[in-house]
């Protein structure tokens, strides 16, 4: 689905990250964790076509058209109603699909509200709907739940995971949270400015109630150890 | 309700001043109000108001038609900003009213020279305001536009235009006061209709009640235009009126 080969990304004069290589299979969920400033967001932006690649190559099945990005901040346009934010750049006939997504996310009554009238969690749900309505084959999430409280975050993690698994969407998630990386990723990679240094498979990715399982804690422990080493 | 309170405060101040000075140069408000009612009933004031409104609305419309694209392009295209902005800064402080005789020679003594003067005075602050509005649009919105694959036309329609609308209305409010003052000056020359003409004509004839009638009329026209701008803004920027924003405003 996604092949990244020896990529270097510049951010202004500086190098954001280099030596980045990664293969993501269709339907796989990959979580990227790493210290602040290691270039995780830049990598996601480069995949989405929002940043140029200085060196190396990124290839996506279906091109950038087949991917959709959800940003760290919801970036809802304050002058557009919820429904219009979701169908931004799409044809009017997509409104019925947007309504279906709003129903699925429990936001059907908010369709004609402005973003200012929503809570943080509701806004992120709308931003998620905006990413999903494009029926992406590859979904890029840039710490989308970082600003939310724990309870809302876990609910949204469930929503996203259910949706991507049911639709077979490939996921690339950037996060600071080890627990989130584990819960959302069938594979977790640790990133530095100079490439990926560690990767672990998550054998309990599809398990129900995985957060309470002992394997979850041992995986978390090994990831913490890996992160300390970078 | 607030407008009525404001009008009462002005009337009270006016009455006190007229009573203290006790001179025909400051007549009592009720005499001026009676003059206005009488002259409106006979139809002799309508044309003055209509001519002034025609000049000011046309001047504002021309200024905005030019200022909106100037502001949008200079705000978004850095290379253009580097060329246009110094020109704007150079011409902005010029006392445009001084060019009225030049405009009269070039465009005649009729309405065109007056309208061009009003348009020119409004154009510069409006263009600078709109440019700053476009510059202050968060970069994230443009990234979002790219991520949602918006066409350049849709970036203007869905992001730039709605984002700069508050600045546009703010610049309209600022420039309306200036344009009313300019209207007054421009109607002093080669005009037979207009509120500026009416005020000065009555002043020359020492008809102070008529003069104050014209001043009140000009002031009420300004108030009416401000209310009109607020109403249009209310409709054009509905998200500013959400209950949450209203709760937060002091």
Q: Is a pLDDT exceeding 70 seen at residue B59?
A: yes
Interchain contact, A68 vs B145, CB within 8 Å = no
pLDDT recorded at residue A206: 82
- Chain B contact set for A50 (CB, 8 A): 143, 146-147
Using CA atoms, how far apart are residues A202 and B5, in angstroms rounded to an integer?
70
pLDDT recorded at residue B181: 87
The answer to whether A70 and A141 are in contact (CB under 8 A) is: yes
- Chain A contact set for B147 (CB, 8 A): 48, 50, 68-69, 71
Candidates A51, A69, A89: best to mutate against B (most CBs of B within 10 A) is A89
For the segment B160-175, the average pLDDT, to the nearest whole number, is 89
- Residues 6 or more apart in contact with residue A15 via CB below 8 angstroms: A8, A9, A54, A193
Distances (CA, A) of B127 to B65, B119, B121, B131, B224: 10, 12, 11, 6, 24
Q: CA dihedral in degrees (B78, B80, B81, B84; nearest 10)?
A: 170
pLDDT recorded at residue B250: 54
Nearest Cα residue in chain B from A67: B147
Nearest neighbour of B244 by CB, restricted to A49, A69, A117: A117
pLDDT recorded at residue B163: 92
Query: Model confidence at B248, in pLDDT bands (50, 70, 90)?
Result: low
The answer to whether B52 and B195 are in contact (CB under 8 A) is: yes
Q: Is a pLDDT exceeding 60 seen at residue A23?
A: yes
Using CA atoms, how far apart are residues A215 and A223, in angstroms rounded to an integer?
12
Distance from B157 to chain A by nearest Cα, in Å?
11
pLDDT recorded at residue B2: 76
For the segment B210-234, the average pLDDT, to the nearest whole number, is 93
For the segment A3-32, the average pLDDT, to the nearest whole number, is 91
For the segment A178-196, the average pLDDT, to the nearest whole number, is 90
The per-residue pLDDT of chain B, averaged, comes to: 89
Q: Is a pLDDT exceeding 70 seen at residue B178?
A: yes
Over residues A26-82, the pLDDT tens digits come to: 999 999 999 888 899 999 999 999 999 999 999 999 888 899 999 989 999 999 999
Query: Model confidence at B249, in pLDDT bands (50, 70, 90)?
Result: low
What DSSP assignment string belongs to A80-113?
Answer: S-HHHHHTTTS-GGGHHHHHHHHHHTT-GGGTTS
**Contact B145/A at CB under 8 A:** yes
**Contact A12/B at CB under 8 A:** no
Over residues B91-139, the pLDDT tens digits come to: 888 888 888 888 888 888 888 999 999 999 889 989 999 999 999 999 9
**Contact A135/B at CB under 8 A:** no
**Contact B234/A at CB under 8 A:** no
Nearest Cα residue in chain A from B239: A79
More confident residue, A44 or A206: A44
Over residues A67-116, the pLDDT tens digits come to: 999 998 999 999 999 999 999 999 888 999 999 999 988 888 999 999 99
pLDDT recorded at residue A230: 67
Distance from A221 to chain B by nearest Cα, in Å?
36
Q: Is a pLDDT exceeding 90 seen at residue B37?
A: yes
Over residues B182-214, the pLDDT tens digits come to: 888 888 887 788 999 999 999 999 999 999 999
Using CA atoms, how far apart are residues A198 and A187, in angstroms rounded to an integer?
11
Using CA atoms, how far apart are residues B174 and B122, in angstroms rounded to an integer?
9
What is the ipTM for the molecules in this complex? 0.86
% pLDDT > 70, chain B: 96
The answer to whether A156 and A191 are in contact (CB under 8 A) is: no
Q: Is a pLDDT exceeding 90 seen at residue A212?
A: no
Query: Model confidence at B226, in pLDDT bands (50, 70, 90)?
Result: very high
Query: Model confidence at A226, in pLDDT bands (50, 70, 90)?
Result: confident
Nearest to A124 by CA among A180, A191, A72: A72
pLDDT recorded at residue A118: 92
Pairing relation of β-strands A2-11 and A55-60?
antiparallel
pLDDT recorded at residue A210: 78
Q: Is a pLDDT exceeding 90 seen at residue A198?
A: no
Nearest Cα residue in chain B from A116: B244
pLDDT recorded at residue A68: 94
């Amino acid at each position: 689905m996604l092949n990244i080969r020896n990529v270097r990304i510049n951010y202004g004069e500086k190098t954001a990250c280099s030596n980045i290589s990664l293969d993501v299979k269709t339907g796989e969920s990959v979580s990227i964790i790493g210290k602040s400033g290691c270039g995780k967001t830049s990598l996601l932006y480069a995949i989405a076509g929002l940043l140029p690649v200085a060196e190396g190559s990124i290839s996506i099945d279906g091109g950038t058209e087949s991917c959709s990005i959800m940003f760290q901040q919801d970036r809802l346009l304050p002058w557009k109603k919820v429904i219009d934010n979701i169908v931004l750049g799409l044809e009017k006939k997509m409104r019925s699909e947007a309504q279906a997504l709003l129903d699925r996310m429990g936001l059907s009554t908010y369709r004609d509200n402005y973003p200012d009238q929503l809570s943080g969690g509701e806004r992120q749900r709308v931003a998620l709907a905006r990413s999903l309505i494009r029926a992406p084959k590859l979904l890029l999430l840039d710490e989308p739940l970082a600003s939310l409280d724990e309870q809302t975050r876990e609910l949204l993690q469930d929503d996203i995971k259910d949706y991507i698994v049911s639709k077979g969407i490939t996921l690339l998630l950037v996060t600071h949270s080890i627990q989130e990386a584990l819960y959302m990723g069938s594979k977790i990679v640790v990133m530095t400015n100079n490439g990926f240094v560690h990767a672990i498979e998550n054998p309990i990715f599809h398990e129900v109630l995985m957060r309470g399982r002992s394997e979850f804690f041992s995986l978390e422990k090994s990831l913490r150890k890996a992160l300390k080493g970078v | 309700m607030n407008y009525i309170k404001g009008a009462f405060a002005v009337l009270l101040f006016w009455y006190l001043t007229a009573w203290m000075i006790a001179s025909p140069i400051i007549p009592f408000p009720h005499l001026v109000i009676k003059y206005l009612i009488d002259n409106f009933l006979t139809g002799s004031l309508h044309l003055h108001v209509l001519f002034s409104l025609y000049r000011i609305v046309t001047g504002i419309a021309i200024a905005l038609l030019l200022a909106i694209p100037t502001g949008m392009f200079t705000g978004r295209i850095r290379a253009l900003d580097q060329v246009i902005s110094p020109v704007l800064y150079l011409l902005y402080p010029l006392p445009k009213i001084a060019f009225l005789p030049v405009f009269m020679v070039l465009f005649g003594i009729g309405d065109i020279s007056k309208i061009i003067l009003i348009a020119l005075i409004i154009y510069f602050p409006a263009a600078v305001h709109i440019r700053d509005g476009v510059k202050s649009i968060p970069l994230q919105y443009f990234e979002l536009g790219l991520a949602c694959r918006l066409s350049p036309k849709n970036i203007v329609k869905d992001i730039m235009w709605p984002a700069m609308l508050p600045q546009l209305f703010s610049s309209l409010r600022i420039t309306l006061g200036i344009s009313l003052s300019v209207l007054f000056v421009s109607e002093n020359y080669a005009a037979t209709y207009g509120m500026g003409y009416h005020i000065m004509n009555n002043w020359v004839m020492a008809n102070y009640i008529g003069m104050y009638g014209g001043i009140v009329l000009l002031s009420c026209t300004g108030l009416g235009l401000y209310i009109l701008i607020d109403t249009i803004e209310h409709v054009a920027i509905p998200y500013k009126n959400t209950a949450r924003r209203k709760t937060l405003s002091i």
